[in-house]
């Protein structure tokens, strides 16, 4: 009897211990407690977890959203996607030969650790962007050969060639200036506690969960900042994100999925910020990437690679409107160019073709190839990609194409694209303000991301001149010609421009979204 | 007793070592250039080469392994592709899965044992039939489907419970439990079904045993017989089952966390594989291996405490 | 020599008749057998049974409610749900059977050898099996999918591997028990060699237990395939599979919840049928384990 009683109490003890551990453990899982809503904390639900919060190394789209709130740049965009000065005092001046750019720095600005912003600090950051091992910015500002500091508030950039897109690059991560003191202390670990100039400063980050920013006490325009704190919560599941917005657990939602949109639109307590992206989505066709990125081109021999007529037929078998309706519930903007209609470089005279099965079939017949023509299409592994792939399959079949889908995880897909180990890939580009950022590296024969393995002398000439051209109208003419080449050769079939819809609770005002798709809540406030 | 624990611990250590080697090699068997995980959108070959240099991906494997183990023993599991310490990420996310597993085990055990006892005591009657059929259903219903259905009924239609997400217990216990209730039920039903069947058969065995007949003959009440004798001796079965179901619980947690949007450890495992984040993946799988071995060790020891003769009831099935 | 056989010939046919009668007296077992056979037939003859091809889209009838044209409605691409469920049975039945066969082929010999020869080999087998018994199969499946790529075949492989440890345990347990039987002892005393003893005495008497276990392993494999396809590690869209359909239903829980109901119901019905069948077989073949 005694043994049994001890056993029972022993079991009881174990149970109690487990319960206690359980509760303690969950307590340990609690993160920094959020301030009360009325105290001015804004919670933004992000669709992905940003990578390293280091402007030199960062590569993700969502990372740019976080940077917007804590790391200002030399230049920024305004609502009309024009470039305006931010840490610079004014737009830069260019020398006569356009190979020297002079930038004046704004005065009276302090980093979030109190140190002053001056030309030396700008030089430190720019040099780091140019030369740090593993820098993602180096190729963006590669024409810069030297950064000079003639006086405390002036920076002079020397270029080895004319480079019109430079200003746009300085309006993105390449223009972000980091605190030299923090760089000194942290070096390559800058991302663990980043310090820049910003309306908010970095407080803490839990991987895969949240990033916390607090109001900066040293920001030069403090009076415009109304919130005390911004919390970025990472919620990768789209319906979970939408559910959180509807329950007001988050105030702002990054990119509402088309399947969640109707419920959010019906909700009176929510608003939707809509802006067409400056990027594109489409199908990249491997034409000559047989040996890998950067190696000499060699036609890969697939049907789509070997015959331009087949690429044209493929495009004609697709129906952009149906794709929009069925895959996205009509929420994206069909298109056939690398820049969206809102861009000043867009060519209104180019009309996107509708579906034309007859012409598609006759194009196929003209090549003499027997149907069905096999196309192996690499797509993503998410549900939207699955829908897209299956719709493309359905649309292309009656024309005589047999599309086989290869759902591939993203990183692997990028690797295969670089190696040339693919036939066609449904992929897009988040977009850059300057059209060069949407075109050059993909279709110039020396482009750093040209994994299509395609390039022509004529296209190269057009793009190089567009880089050097001084006026917008000159560049427009050049890009217009480039678009015509793209439309007839179709190395890339552009299908649509994403329309970024961000959700906001109605009790918050001042949250903005420009065409670059980034959430801007730095001057937001509660009503 | 002490020697027994020492022997078991020694064996556990060997298993952990083997597991670490396996993990290390296995992660590298996954096709995909590890440098790419750190490179995201930018794939300039020079950048990739720099990354490989920086993370020591060019060194020979044994060197990389020793370096990794050395740091791991100090609690440093390296940094992932975001520049965040892996150990910190793991430590932050484990409690969520632990809470989920704990609640699921609680719910599953309570339901399973109660149902099993009732079914055994009322054998052959309606309640036995009902309980047995429910248990059978529990084995035939994919628990992730159950989760989807519960979301439809309780979150979308009735709006009683949140569809997804997680609130830390320390922040708001009520919200925490509201968020955990459906996931825990979903995860616990499989366990309840298995427990119920095992409990029922174990109870039936012991209720038919000689000493129970003697107790009945002595005139003890039915309930005290059930309570004292049969129940206690069935504890062995329960422990065995719980130990065996641990793996199923972990598997279940992965899917449950996915459906209910809980950023727990289960999801981390799958995500790190999907994102080819090798540092994270290594750390995660190592923790899983170590945890698994430790829990097994714990169960072994607890088991021997409950039954010093280490006699397993019902070996052949 | 007649007494080397476990039972004389005539009795075998008689025994089968008794078993059949016992089986037919259980309505649950009969019903489940009918459902199982029905599911297998539907899977094999899907092309003729299903009203539409599973990949045929209809962009004018997205997310349609049940109607005369589409008895269970359509999905987000306008495909007929009923047809996709019928075709989805293929992946499930395939995975269920193949995984079980694979597991049996590997586990039974190992369990037999361990249980028969005992000694250090058996100890190793038993220990390793015990450790692997509780291993979370999903981790294995995810790892396999990461290395080999996701596909129905690799998912089946993972499921088969996961089913091996419990089957080893059962085969070993049965062997241990059977080798103590009188007729086995007699055969040993008579000098019969190991292969004969195993092949003629032990293995045939294990078949009923193994059959029951196989029938109970199949539903676990079916559910496992659904889980893996749900996570994207098994069947890849557009090939229909119940797990894939449930995955695709997730964004529509608000607007079209029925998309999530029917595939799940199919899984439940088929898995339940196999489970009931297995239970029924066990009751019939070995009444002393009456539960």
Instruction: Please tell me the distance from the alpha carbon of residue B133 to that of residue B131, in angstroms, as a whole number.
Output: 5
For A259, the token pair is 């399947």
Do C96 and C222 form a contact (C-beta atoms < 8 A)? yes
Interchain proximity A243–B81, CB inside 8 Å:
no
In the numeric block, the tokens 């109660």 are attached to: B114
User: pLDDT, tens digit, for every residue of B226-247?
Assistant: 676 666 666 777 777 777 777 7
Residue A470: exposure state from Cβ atoms within 10 A (0-12, 13-18, ≥19)? exposed
Given a cut of 50, whether residue A3 has pLDDT beyond it is no
Instruction: Please tell me the distance from the alpha carbon of residue B187 to that of residue B183, in angstroms, as a whole number.
Output: 6
What is the number of other CB atoms lying within 10 angstroms of the CB of residue B54? 13
Which pLDDT value is given to residue A37? 41
Interchain proximity C257–B245, CB inside 8 Å:
no
Homologous superfamily in CATH for domain C36-46+72-285: MetI-like (1.10.3720.10)
Which pLDDT value is given to residue A470? 82
User: pLDDT, tens digit, for every residue of B261-281?
Assistant: 788 888 888 777 766 677 787
Instruction: Please tell me the distance from the alpha carbon of residue A163 to that of residue A470, in angstroms, as a whole number.
Output: 9
Best residue in B16, B27, B135, B145 for a mutation probing chain C (most C CBs within 10 Å)? B145
Interchain proximity C255–A387, CB inside 8 Å:
no
Do C268 and B141 form a contact (C-beta atoms < 8 A)? yes
Given a cut of 50, whether residue B31 has pLDDT beyond it is yes
Interchain proximity B156–C139, CB inside 8 Å:
no
Which pLDDT value is given to residue B151? 85
Give B93's pLDDT tier (boundaries 50, 70, 90).
confident
Nearest Cβ partner of C260 from B148, B197, B204? B148
- Which of A9-13, A214-218, B188-192 reaches the highest mean pLDDT? A214-218
Given a cut of 80, whether residue A6 has pLDDT beyond it is no
- Quick one: residue B194, left, alpha or beta (phi over 0 = left, psi -120 to 50 = alpha)? alpha
Instruction: Please tell me the distance from the alpha carbon of residue A446 to that of residue C291, in angstroms, as a whole number.
Output: 75
- In eight-state DSSP terms, residue A107 is S
Given a cut of 50, whether residue A2 has pLDDT beyond it is no
Interchain proximity C57–A394, CB inside 8 Å:
yes
- Concatenated DSSP letters for A222-255? GGG---SEEEEEE--SHHHHHHHHHTTSSSEESS
- φ/ψ of residue A458, rounded to 5: -65, -45
Pairing of strands A280-285, A373-379: unpaired
**Chain C within 8 Å of A116 (Cβ-Cβ)?**
no
User: Within a 13 Å sphere around the CA of C271, how many CA atoms are in the beta-carbon half?
Assistant: 27
Between A12-16, A22-26, A163-167, B121-125, the lowest mean confidence (pLDDT) is in A22-26
For B288, the token pair is 């899983």
Give B299's pLDDT tier (boundaries 50, 70, 90).
confident
Average pLDDT of A338-366?
Answer: 93
Best residue in A238, A242, A258, A259 for a mutation probing chain C (most C CBs within 10 Å)? A259
For A455, the token pair is 């390039």
3-state SS class at B78: coil
Which pLDDT value is given to residue C239? 86
**Chain B within 8 Å of A2 (Cβ-Cβ)?**
no
Do A508 and A251 form a contact (C-beta atoms < 8 A)? yes
Instruction: Please tell me the distance from the alpha carbon of residue A333 to that of residue A274, in angstroms, as a whole number.
Output: 12
Give B43's pLDDT tier (boundaries 50, 70, 90).
low
For C52, the token pair is 């539409």
Name the minimum distance, in Å, from the CA of B126 to any CA of chain A. 32
Which B residues 101-140 touch A at CB under 8 Å? 102
Name the minimum distance, in Å, from the CA of B232 to any CA of chain A. 8
Comparing alpha-carbon positions, the chain A residue that sits nearest to B31 is A412
Instruction: Please tell me the distance from the alpha carbon of residue B80 to that of residue A91, in angstroms, as a whole number.
Output: 39
**Chain B within 8 Å of C122 (Cβ-Cβ)?**
no
Which B residues 296-315 touch A at CB under 8 Å? 302, 305-306
Comparing alpha-carbon positions, the chain C residue that sits nearest to A389 is C238
User: Taking all residues of chain C, what is their mean pLDDT, rounded to a whole number?
Assistant: 85
Instruction: Please tell me the distance from the alpha carbon of residue A393 to that of residue B213, in angstroms, as a whole number.
Output: 71
Which pLDDT value is given to residue B55? 65
Chains that touch A (3 or more CB pairs under 8 A): B, C
Nearest Cβ partner of C77 from A262, A381, A390? A390
Instruction: Please tell me the distance from the alpha carbon of residue A400 to that of residue C24, in angstroms, as a whole number.
Output: 54
The percentage of chain A sitting over the pLDDT mark of 70, rounded to a whole number, equals 92
Instruction: Please tell me the distance from the alpha carbon of residue A205 to that of residue B84, in angstroms, as a whole number.
Output: 9
Q: Is the dihedral of CA B44, B49, B51, B54 positive or negative?
A: negative
Given a cut of 80, whether residue B72 has pLDDT beyond it is no
3-state SS class at A292: coil
Comparing alpha-carbon positions, the chain C residue that sits nearest to A321 is C59
Average pLDDT of B141-146?
Answer: 89
Interchain proximity A411–B36, CB inside 8 Å:
yes
Nearest Cβ partner of B29 from C147, C226, C264? C147
Name the minimum distance, in Å, from the CA of C49 to any CA of chain B. 25
| Domain spans in chain C, listed from the N-terminal domain onward | 36-46+72-285
Given a cut of 50, whether residue C184 has pLDDT beyond it is yes
Give A231's pLDDT tier (boundaries 50, 70, 90).
very high
Give A35's pLDDT tier (boundaries 50, 70, 90).
very low
**Chain C within 8 Å of B136 (Cβ-Cβ)?**
yes
Residues 6+ apart with CB under 8 A from A258: A327, A328, A329, A330, A331
Pairing of strands A229-234, A41-46: parallel
Given a cut of 80, whether residue B301 has pLDDT beyond it is no
Name the minimum distance, in Å, from the CA of C19 to any CA of chain A. 45
User: Which of A432, A437, A494, A487 has the alpha carbon at shortest distance from A459?
Assistant: A487
Which pLDDT value is given to residue A137? 87
In the numeric block, the tokens 């590890």 are attached to: B34
Given a cut of 90, whether residue A312 has pLDDT beyond it is yes
Q: Which residues of B touch C173 (CB under 8 A)?
A: 315-317
**Chain B within 8 Å of A133 (Cβ-Cβ)?**
yes
What is the number of other CB atoms lying within 10 angstroms of the CB of residue B64? 16
User: Which of C212, C224, C210, C217 has the alpha carbon at shortest distance from C92?
Assistant: C224
Give the E-state strand segments of A307-452 in sequence order: 333-334, 373-379, 401-407, 424-429
Which pLDDT value is given to residue A139? 80
Do B238 and B111 form a contact (C-beta atoms < 8 A)? no
Between A82-91, A370-379, A401-410, C11-20, the lowest mean confidence (pLDDT) is in C11-20
Q: Which residue has the higher pLDDT, A77 or C174?
A: A77
- Which of A13-22, B139-148, B159-168 reaches the highest mean pLDDT? B139-148
Interchain proximity B39–A59, CB inside 8 Å:
yes
Which pLDDT value is given to residue B258? 82
Name the minimum distance, in Å, from the CA of B274 to any CA of chain C. 8
Give A54's pLDDT tier (boundaries 50, 70, 90).
very high
Cα-to-chain-centroid distance, residue C73: 30
């Amino acid at each position: 009897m005694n043994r049994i009683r001890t056993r029972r109490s022993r079991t009881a003890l174990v149970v109690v211990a487990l319960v206690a551990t359980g509760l303690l453990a969950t307590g340990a899982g609690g993160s920094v407690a959020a301030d009360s809503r009325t105290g001015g904390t804004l919670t933004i639900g992000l669709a992905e977890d940003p990578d390293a919060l280091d402007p030199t190394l960062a590569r993700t789209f969502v990372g740019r959203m976080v940077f917007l709130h804590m790391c200002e740049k030399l230049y920024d965009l305004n609502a009309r996607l024009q470039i305006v000065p931010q840490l610079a005092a004014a737009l830069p001046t260019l020398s006569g030969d356009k190979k020297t750019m002079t930038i004046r720095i704004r005065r009276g600005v302090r980093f979030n650790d109190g140190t002053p912003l001056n030309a030396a600090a700008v030089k430190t950051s720019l040099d780091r962007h140019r030369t740090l091992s593993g820098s993602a910015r180096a190729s963006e500002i590669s024409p810069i050969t030297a950064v000079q500091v003639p006086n405390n508030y002036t920076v002079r950039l020397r270029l080895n060639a004319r480079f019109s897109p430079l200003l746009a690059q300085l309006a993105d991560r390449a223009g972000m200036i980091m605190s030299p003191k923090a760089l000194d202390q942290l070096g390559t670990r800058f991302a663990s506690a980043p310090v820049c100039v910003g309306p908010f400063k970095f407080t803490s980050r839990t991987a895969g969960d949240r990033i916390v920013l607090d109001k900066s006490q040293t920001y030069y325009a403090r009076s415009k900042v109304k919130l005390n704190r911004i919390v970025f919560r990472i919620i990768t599941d789209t319906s979970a994100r939408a559910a959180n917005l509807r329950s007001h657990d988050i105030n702002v939602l990054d990119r509402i999925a088309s399947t969640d949109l109707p419920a959010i639109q019906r909700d009176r307590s929510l608003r939707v910020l809509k802006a067409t992206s400056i990027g594109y989505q489409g199908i990249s066709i491997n034409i000559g990437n047989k040996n890998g990125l950067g190696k000499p081109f060699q036609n890969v021999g697939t049907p789509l690679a070997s015959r331009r007529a087949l690429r044209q037929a493929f495009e004609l078998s697709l129906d952009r409107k149906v794709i929009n309706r069925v895959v996205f519930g009509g929420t994206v903007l069909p298109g056939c160019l690398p820049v969206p209609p809102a861009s000043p470089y867009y060519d209104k005279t180019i009309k996107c073709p509708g579906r034309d099965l007859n012409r598609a079939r006759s194009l196929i017949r003209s090549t003499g190839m027997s149907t069905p023509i096999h196309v192996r299409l690499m797509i993503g592994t998410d549900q939207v990609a699955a829908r897209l792939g299956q719709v493309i399959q359905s649309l292309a079949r009656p024309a005589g194409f047999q599309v086989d889908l290869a759902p591939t995880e993203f990183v692997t897909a990028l690797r295969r694209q670089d190696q040339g180990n693919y036939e066609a890939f449904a992929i897009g580009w988040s977009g850059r303000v300057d059209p060069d950022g949407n075109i050059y590296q993909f279709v110039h024969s020396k482009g750093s991301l040209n994994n299509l393995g395609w390039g022509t002398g004529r296209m190269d000439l057009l793009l190089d001149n567009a880089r050097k051209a001084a006026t917008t109208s000159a560049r427009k003419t050049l890009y217009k010609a480039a678009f015509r080449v793209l439309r007839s050769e179709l190395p890339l079939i552009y299908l649509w421009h994403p329309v970024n819809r961000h959700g906001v609770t109605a009790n918050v005002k001042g949250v903005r979204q420009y065409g670059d798709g980034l959430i801007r809540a730095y001057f937001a406030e509660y009503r | 007793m002490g020697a027994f624990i020492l022997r078991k611990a020694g064996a556990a250590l060997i298993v952990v070592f083997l597991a670490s080697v396996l993990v290390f090699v296995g992660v590298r068997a996954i096709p995909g250039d590890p440098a790419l995980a750190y490179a995201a959108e930018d794939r300039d070959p020079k950048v990739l080469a720099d990354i490989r240099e920086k993370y020591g991906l060019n060194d020979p494997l044994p060197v990389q392994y020793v370096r990794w183990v050395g740091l791991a023993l100090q609690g440093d599991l390296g940094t992932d592709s975001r520049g965040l310490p892996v150990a910190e990420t793991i430590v932050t996310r484990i409690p969520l899965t632990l809470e989920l597993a704990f609640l699921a085990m609680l719910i599953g055990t309570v339901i399973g044992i109660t149902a099993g006892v009732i079914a055994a005591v009322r054998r052959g009657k309606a309640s036995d039939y009902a309980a047995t059929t429910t248990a059978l259903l529990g084995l035939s219903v994919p628990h992730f489907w159950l989760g989807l259905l519960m979301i439809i009924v309780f979150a979308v239609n009735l709006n009683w419970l949140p569809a997804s997400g997680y609130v830390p217990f320390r922040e708001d216990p009520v919200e925490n439990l509201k968020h955990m209730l459906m996931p825990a039920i979903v995860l616990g039903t499989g366990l309840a079904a298995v427990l119920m069947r095992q409990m029922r058969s174990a109870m039936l065995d012991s209720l038919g045993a000689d000493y129970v007949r003697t107790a009945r003959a002595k005139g003890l009440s039915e309930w005290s017989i059930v309570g004292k004798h049969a129940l206690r001796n069935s504890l062995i079965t329960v422990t065995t089952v719980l130990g065996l179901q641990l793996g199923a619980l972990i598997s279940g947690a992965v899917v449950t966390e996915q459906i209910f949007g809980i950023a727990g450890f289960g999801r981390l495992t799958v995500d790190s594989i999907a994102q080819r984040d090798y540092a994270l993946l290594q750390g995660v799988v190592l923790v899983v291996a170590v945890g698994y071995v430790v829990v097994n060790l714990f169960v072994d020891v607890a088991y021997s405490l409950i039954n010093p003769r280490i006699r397993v009831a019902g070996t052949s099935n | 020599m007649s007494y080397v056989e476990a039972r004389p010939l005539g009795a075998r046919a008689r025994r089968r008749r008794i078993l059949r009668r016992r089986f037919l007296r259980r309505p649950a077992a009969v019903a489940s057998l009918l459902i199982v056979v029905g599911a297998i037939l539907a899977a094999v003859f899907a092309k003729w049974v299903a009203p539409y091809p599973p990949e045929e889209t209809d962009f004018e009838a997205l997310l349609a409610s049940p109607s005369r044209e589409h008895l269970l409605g359509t999905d987000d691409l306008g495909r007929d749900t009923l047809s996709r469920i019928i075709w989805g049975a293929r992946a499930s039945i395939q995975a269920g059977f193949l995984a079980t066969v694979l597991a049996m082929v590997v586990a039974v010999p190992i369990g037999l050898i361990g249980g028969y020869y005992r000694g250090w080999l058996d100890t190793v087998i038993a220990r390793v099996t015990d450790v692997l018994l509780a291993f979370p199969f999903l981790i294995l499946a995810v790892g396999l999918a990461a290395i080999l790529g996701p596909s129905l075949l690799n998912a089946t492989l993972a499921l088969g591997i996961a089913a091996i440890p419990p089957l080893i345990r059962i085969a070993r347990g049965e062997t241990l028990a059977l080798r103590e039987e009188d007729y086995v002892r007699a055969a040993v005393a008579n000098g019969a060699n190991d292969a004969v003893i195993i092949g003629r005495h032990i293995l045939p008497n294990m078949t009923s237990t193994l059959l029951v276990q196989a029938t109970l392993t199949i539903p676990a494999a079916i559910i496992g395939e659904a889980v893996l396809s749900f996570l994207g590690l098994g069947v890849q869209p557009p090939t229909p599979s119940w797990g894939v359909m449930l995955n695709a239903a997730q964004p529509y829980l608000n607007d079209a919840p029925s998309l999530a109901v029917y595939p799940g119901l199919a899984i439940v019905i088929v898995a339940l049928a196999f489970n009931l069948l297995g239970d029924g077989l066990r009751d019939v073949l070995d009444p002393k384990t009456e539960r």
